[in-house]
Amino acid sequence: MSRASDRDSFQTLKAQLAEKEFKLSELENRVKDLFNEANELDEKLRISNRNARVLEEENSNYHMKLKSIEKDEDISKLVPSQKEAIKLVKENEDLRARLADAEEHLKAEAVQIRESDSGADKQIRALSSECERMRKERQREVKELENTRFQCAELQKRLDDEHETLKTARDLWDQERERYHQKIDELLEHNKSTVRSTTPRTHLPKGTTSDEPLEQVLLKEDVAQLEQKLKDVQERLWGKEKEWIRTENELRKKFQSLQLVNGSEGRNDKALFQAMKDQIRALQDEIKALRNDRLASRSAVLGAAAASAAASKNPASTVAQPLQGSGVANWAARYDAACKEKEAIQDQLDAAKATILALQHMADDKTISCKELEVQIAALRKKEANGTRRAIAGGAASTRSVGEQSFNSRASTSSNAVDAASTISQLKQRIRVLENELTNLKNDHEQKETISSVRTKEYQMQVDELLRENAALRNENGDTCGTAESASPVDSMDGVIRLTKDKRESVEEVMRLLEFSWDSDEEAKRQLRRAKYQSASMAGQDAAKDDEIRRLQKTADDLENQLQDMEKKGNDVDELKDAVSDLRKQLRGLQAENDKLRKKNGDLEKSRNDAAKGLAAKEEDANRRNKELQKEVEDLKRRLADARKPSSRSGSPAVSPRTPRTPRIAARRRTPEVPAMSQLSVRSTEEQRRSAVPEGAHLAFTVVELADVLRNGRPITEPGYVVIKLKSIKEKYKTSVKGLSSVIRFDETFVFYLAQPDQDVITVHVFYQTKNGSREYHIGDACFSMATLYRGVPRQRIAPVVQNPGTKDARRAGQIEVNLQTDDFGKTMEPTEDEMEDERARFDELVNKYEHNAPEKLHAADVYMASEQL
């Protein structure tokens, strides 16, 4: 229930975070639109201010011209226009001051909104990262719980299997022990009954009456010696095993100490590999030599075993010599190789034990069949003994009948004895064949054991001792067999020999079963210890997981508190919305005032046009009067020339000297004013009008491709679509919708008509939309400048697309390639290849600098580079 409630709470948290993120994105879009509208209004106001300044200059120029041209005329008509111009100037100044105040207030509000948005974004990112981390932790914990449960189930299954195997092994051992005890008891009873039955029948001399008990005593002593030797061999094997464990622990301690000493020094893998190869080759050579010696002769094997036994008496010194010579690498290599070979040999020994057990069962079955035949023979002998007794008891009739009966009984007993001897010889021959098979199997097993002992060099003395004892036993068996063959066929001796053999075999079988049971018990104990350790570790892990769950619950409470804080901040955002609406109202008021100013500017333009028309009429009048004056001057010059002629001096005394002076004064006073007046009129009307309303300049902006699109610093794995929006101060465009991929090819060109290309900036917005959803996610922005373009020369820019532009949290969200080209503005000279390469290198260097030191400027690297060049 707690997990289900946690999941529901996480889902609600995710839904609330998504709603908050959607609302914040809407607010960001609204704030951006408001900033764009404010920029447009600022641009319009700047143009209107410039027009107003131009009108003021024109009005002042007209006023000066009118003062200079028409000093004698009445200027009362121009005074109201001048007053109106001064009034308009004052109103413009007031409007500028109010607009500057409004802009400052808007900037302050925008800064506050941006700060609140950035804080909300940071908190949302922190919450989303915390939720993601908690989700990953929960998944990891679920996986760990599943793994621990699976391990517990496996351990329980293995423990049950081990218990079952132990039970079966114990039952089998009990059954075998009971069977062997029963067989031994039966043989003893049969031997006793045979001895008792044969005692009255045999008539031995006096010197041989004490031989049978003496042989039985000797056989018992031999059996006791064999049992003592077997116990000594077992004790020596246990001692050797303890010594091997001790040496192994010492090697581990030395290896750990060497690792601690030489922890800072790296091992040479090649030297280690070469040392392992050398060890393997040496072992292979030794195995081959021992195999050849084994095949060559028995004595060579015994000599090699004795030498290996003498060498294995001091294993620490033999192991220490190669270790001292080869160093740490040889220590590690020999230890790893010895462990692996030990495991492989242990597997081979287990398989050999299984095969030996199967063969032993077969031999037991055959011995059982042999013993059944022996029991039948003993029964026949018993019947023969009973027949002889009856014949002796009924021999009092007559001497002839007694002689005949005795003769017949002797003949029958002799024939029965011949048959019994033949059957006994056959059985003995069969027993020898079986013993030969057993000896061959034992020899094969001994050869395998010798090879394994040579590989590991740890059980050599054991194998040598076993070989010597086996040879001694064979010699003794040969001696006993020789004495038995040389002696008379006595049934009791055969029974004793069989008993000793069965006892030895049963003891060996019991020892094998005991070793197997001990190994299984030790393995079960190891498994139990491992299970206890794992259960303890699982308990510790459960406690750690409980602590982690409590910590997650605490973090969930913290997240709930943070959500409450976010709700409070949402209320603050609503208040900011109200403030934005108020700012919009103020902007509408400023727009209305701007419209009024435009109307006034229109009236001023009309009055200026009227004044220009009046000035043009006055200029035409002045030109006409100037032409008339020029004509009068030419006429006066002509008259003066005529008067200066000698023929005309007498006829022109009435010409007054004042007549040529007046036009000269007028000419000196008015002729320089005409060109000055024409020059002023040309400069004031055409050049100033061209600067006020510039011609439209166009820019070709090509979006080539978009690559490596990221969102929150991670690649977008969910399929979707990408669209790019381009924007200048007055124009907006949008590319076609493309499918999301690692490299998105557009090759789309857009034309911008720019009023001021040296100040305008092209902004690129990249948006992403999921395949099944309708919401657009803002990926990032990039800005490009046209101030440093060369006329007619295309410029290629590969710039980063920046997420959260203008903030300290700005990061790279992609890479866009664009081409910019213009034919109407820019530098007129042709750039060289070196200059273009130098410019690209400086741009890349500036991008790297901003990305590492000033991420808030990364989106406008091209703009900052253009401002530095200007």
Is it the case that residue 650 has pLDDT exceeding 60?
A: no
CA distances from 211 to 225, 487, 553, 800, 822 (A): 21, 12, 95, 114, 135
What local confidence, expressed as pLDDT, does residue 214 receive? 60
One-character DSSP codes across 305-331: HHHHHHHHTSHHHHHHHHHHHHHHHHH
Is it the case that residue 506 has pLDDT exceeding 70?
A: no
CA–CA separation, 323 and 257 (whole Å) = 14
What local confidence, expressed as pLDDT, does residue 803 receive? 94
| pLDDT, tens digit (0-9, with 9 covering 90-100), for 657-694 | 344 333 333 333 333 333 333 332 333 334 333 333 34
CB atoms within 10 A of CB 191: 19
Please give the structure tokens belonging to residue 767.
Answer: 């948006």
| pLDDT, tens digit (0-9, with 9 covering 90-100), for 609-637 | 887 888 788 778 878 877 888 787 888 77
Q: Where are the domains of the chain?
A: 2-151+542-633, 694-869
CA–CA separation, 838 and 845 (whole Å) = 10
Q: What is the mean pLDDT of residues 53-74?
A: 68
Q: What is the mean pLDDT of residues 99-113?
A: 82
What local confidence, expressed as pLDDT, does residue 667 receive? 35
Q: What is the identity of the amino acid at 158?
A: R
Q: What is the identity of the amino acid at 450?
A: T
What local confidence, expressed as pLDDT, does residue 279 receive? 62
C-alpha 329, offset from chain centre: 33
What local confidence, expressed as pLDDT, does residue 737 receive? 93
CA–CA separation, 816 and 268 (whole Å) = 49
Whether 822 and 789 have beta carbons less than 8 Å apart is answered as: yes
694-869 folds as Immunoglobulin-like (2.60.40)
Whether 185 and 578 have beta carbons less than 8 Å apart is answered as: no
Among 421-435, 596-610, 696-710, 800-814, which range has the highest average pLDDT?
800-814
What local confidence, expressed as pLDDT, does residue 816 receive? 95
What local confidence, expressed as pLDDT, does residue 849 receive? 93
CA–CA separation, 615 and 606 (whole Å) = 14
CA distances from 469 to 229, 241, 472 (A): 8, 19, 5
Residue that wins the pLDDT comparison between 724 and 270: 724
Is it the case that residue 699 has pLDDT exceeding 80?
A: yes
Mean per-residue pLDDT of the chain? 71
Per-residue pLDDT band at 573 (split at 50, 70, 90): confident
CA–CA separation, 504 and 181 (whole Å) = 13
Please give the structure tokens belonging to residue 71.
Answer: 């000093």
Per-residue pLDDT band at 95 (split at 50, 70, 90): confident
One-character DSSP codes across 671-736: TTHHHHHHHHHHIIIIIHHHHHSPPPEEEEEEEEEEE--EETTEE--S-EEEEEEEE-SS-EEEPP
SS3 3: helix
CA distances from 591 to 29, 44, 45, 588, 755 (A): 22, 10, 9, 5, 21
Is it the case that residue 335 has pLDDT exceeding 90?
A: no
| pLDDT, tens digit (0-9, with 9 covering 90-100), for 536-560 | 777 777 777 777 778 877 877 888 7
Q: What percent of the chain has pLDDT over 70?
A: 59
What local confidence, expressed as pLDDT, does residue 303 receive? 47
CA–CA separation, 530 and 308 (whole Å) = 37
| pLDDT, tens digit (0-9, with 9 covering 90-100), for 259-274 | 665 554 444 545 555 6
What local confidence, expressed as pLDDT, does residue 184 receive? 75
CA–CA separation, 708 and 368 (whole Å) = 85
How many residues in the chain? 870
Kindly state the greatest CA–CA separation across the chain: 239
Is it the case that residue 578 has pLDDT exceeding 70?
A: yes
User: CA Rg, the chain, in Å?
Assistant: 61
Please give the structure tokens belonging to residue 730.
Answer: 């007055």
Q: What is the mean pLDDT of residues 515-541?
A: 72
What local confidence, expressed as pLDDT, does residue 797 receive? 92
| pLDDT, tens digit (0-9, with 9 covering 90-100), for 414-469 | 555 566 566 666 766 776 776 777 677 677 667 666 665 555 565 556 556 666 76
What local confidence, expressed as pLDDT, does residue 309 receive? 42
End-to-end CA distance of the chain: 68
| pLDDT, tens digit (0-9, with 9 covering 90-100), for 4-61 | 666 676 777 777 777 777 777 788 788 888 888 888 888 888 887 777 777 777 777 7
Whether 757 and 697 have beta carbons less than 8 Å apart is answered as: yes
What local confidence, expressed as pLDDT, does residue 182 receive? 78
Chain position carrying tokens 């006020």:
692
Helices vs strands, H then E, count in the chain:
15, 11
Is it the case that residue 83 has pLDDT exceeding 70?
A: no
Q: What is the mean pLDDT of residues 760-774?
A: 90
| pLDDT, tens digit (0-9, with 9 covering 90-100), for 345-377 | 767 767 766 777 777 677 667 767 676 777 777
Is it the case that residue 313 has pLDDT exceeding 60?
A: no
What local confidence, expressed as pLDDT, does residue 686 receive? 40
| pLDDT, tens digit (0-9, with 9 covering 90-100), for 171-200 | 887 887 787 777 777 777 766 665 555 544
